[in-house]
Amino acid sequence: MYKISTLNKISKVGLSHFDDRYIITDKIEDANGILVRSQDMHSMDFSGQLMAIARAGAGVNNIPLDACAEKGIVVFNTPGANANAVKELVLAGMFLAARHIPRALSWAASLTEGVGAAVEKGKSQFAGTEIMGKTLGIAGLGAIGKKVAASAAALGMNIVGYDPFFNGQVPQGVAMYDSLEEMLPLCDYVTIHIPATDSTKGMFNKDLFACFKDSAVLLNFSRDKLVNEVDLLVALESGKISVYVTDFPTDTLVGRDKVILLPHLGASTAEAEDNCASMAVEQIMDYFENGNIRNSVNFPAVDMGPIGDNARICILTEDMADPAGEVMKSISLGDTKIIRTESAVKGRFGYVLAEVDSPEAPSLVFYDKRILRSRSITR
């Protein structure tokens, strides 16, 4: 029996995937797995029973990844599960900026009498532009960026892209550039879809803003920390950037002219919440029952498919260049033999999944302190 604890509200559709081998508990200290959305976990203490955390969403800056890895806790996320929801909000953000909709809404709501005449007299102050024929620059061509590219192209926009981590097939109709400095001068709109890491923090700063086309619109539906807000305000004041649209309000930005703030609505659709929760639950179940790791952000991907008649051994390691080889030297299984292994390394951390020649779970004895956690699983 596995115990699962939930932080934040998790979709019932997602939770319904758990079968009778799982129970939901309010006692986090007893949990083998945790499902979380946005709650900050950096100050939490994790018990020795906790094996996995699944983030129902893509961003994981609310989870202490290295601290979890050092304790043998696998952290999963759900890339792509909320991509359509975020894509649709990015498109809405472009329309909000292009047609001055927030100011127009506020003005229309303030009218009290003679409304028809006032509308005809005052509407010209909100005259905007169309997005058809404009150039959209996409910084980050992951699951969301690709969907934005396809939909914006269908609306008649020209699409250019930059992605420092891109290694797949270039989406049709996207002209890729080797640097933001090359891409930005071409763009009427720029949308950010790059992960927030130590290396990308504040990357949109005065140096990049100087490369922007005059009066460009900047959209940030990734993370607030990617944009240096002090430099942003200078760019807005000078007119280098005409409007900043973001899903991440901050104290610095509230009440500012030329800034459109949305209350982190990117994944806030019923469909996205169901998709993210379902994917998170399925990944935890696959890890617990089969030993497979898919979409982990702190351990490598290893997948041997569904477990068969033979038992499996799951071994999480640290600082092993060849986890499978080194584990084999330090393991004692008695008469049980290992007949198949899969292993991989991600940064400092590694994972070994091994199948033995018996349906019985072997007793595990290791002689290497670099083994963070081990367990046996059976069908």
The percentage of residues in the chain with a pLDDT greater than 70, rounded to a whole number, is 100
Residue 339 and residue 356 in contact, taking contact as beta carbons nearer than 8 Å? yes
Amino acid 58: pLDDT: 85
Amino acid 59: pLDDT: 83
Topology (CATH level 3) of domain 1-82+267-298: Rossmann fold (3.40.50)
Residue 183 and residue 137 in contact, taking contact as beta carbons nearer than 8 Å? yes
CA distance 2 to 6: 13
Alpha carbon 120 to its chain centroid, in Å, reads: 45
H or E element, residue 289: helix 270-290
| Strand duo 312-318 + 349-356: pairing | antiparallel
Query: Mean pLDDT over residues 89-105, rounded?
Result: 97
Q: Give 291: exposed, middle or buried? Use CB within 10 Å, 0-12, 13-18, 19+.
A: buried
Residue 353 banded pLDDT, cuts 50, 70, 90: very high
User: What are the structure tokens assigned to 69, written together?
Assistant: 């890895």
H or E element, residue 13: helix 12-15
Q: Which whole-number Å values give the CA distances from 93 to 53, 89, 157, 166, 366, in the listed order?
A: 32, 6, 15, 25, 55
Amino acid 197: pLDDT: 84
For residue range 154-200, what is the model confidence (pLDDT) as tens digits? 999 999 999 987 877 888 899 999 999 999 999 999 999 998 888 89
Residue 320 and residue 275 in contact, taking contact as beta carbons nearer than 8 Å? no
CA distance 202 to 227: 5
Quote the crossing angle between the two packed helices 270-290 and 83-98, to the nearest 10°: 150
Q: Of 186, 154, 200, nearest to 146 (Cα)?
A: 154
For residue range 260-270, what is the model confidence (pLDDT) as tens digits? 999 999 989 99
For residue range 270-307, what is the model confidence (pLDDT) as tens digits? 999 999 999 999 999 999 999 999 999 999 999 999 99
CA distance 133 to 159: 10
CA distance 6 to 21: 16
Residue 48 banded pLDDT, cuts 50, 70, 90: very high
226 has a pLDDT exceeding 90? yes
Phi-psi region of 369 (alpha: psi -120 to 50; beta: other; left: phi over 0): alpha
Which superfamily does CATH assign the domain made up of 83-261 to? NAD(P)-binding Rossmann-like Domain (3.40.50.720)
Residue 335 banded pLDDT, cuts 50, 70, 90: confident
How much is the mean pLDDT over the chain?
95
More confident residue, 336 or 249: 249
Query: Mean pLDDT over residues 257-262, rounded?
Result: 97
More confident residue, 341 or 198: 341
Q: Which residue has the tokens 């150039």?
A: 135
User: What are the structure tokens assigned to 279, written together?
Assistant: 């994917």
Residue type, 55: R
| Strand duo 52-55 + 33-36: pairing | parallel
The percentage of residues in the chain with a pLDDT greater than 90, rounded to a whole number, is 88
Q: Of 53, 62, 5, nearest to 29 (Cα)?
A: 5
Residue 147 and residue 83 in contact, taking contact as beta carbons nearer than 8 Å? yes
**CATH 3.30.70-classified regions of the chain:** 300-379
Amino acid 61: pLDDT: 87
**CATH 3.40.50.720-classified regions of the chain:** 1-82+267-298, 83-261
What is the reported pTM? 0.82
Residue type, 91: L
CATH for 300-379, options being 3.10.50, 3.30.70, 3.40.50, 2.40.50: 3.30.70
Residues in the chain: 379
Query: Mean pLDDT over residues 58-78, rounded?
Result: 95
CA distance 300 to 293: 7
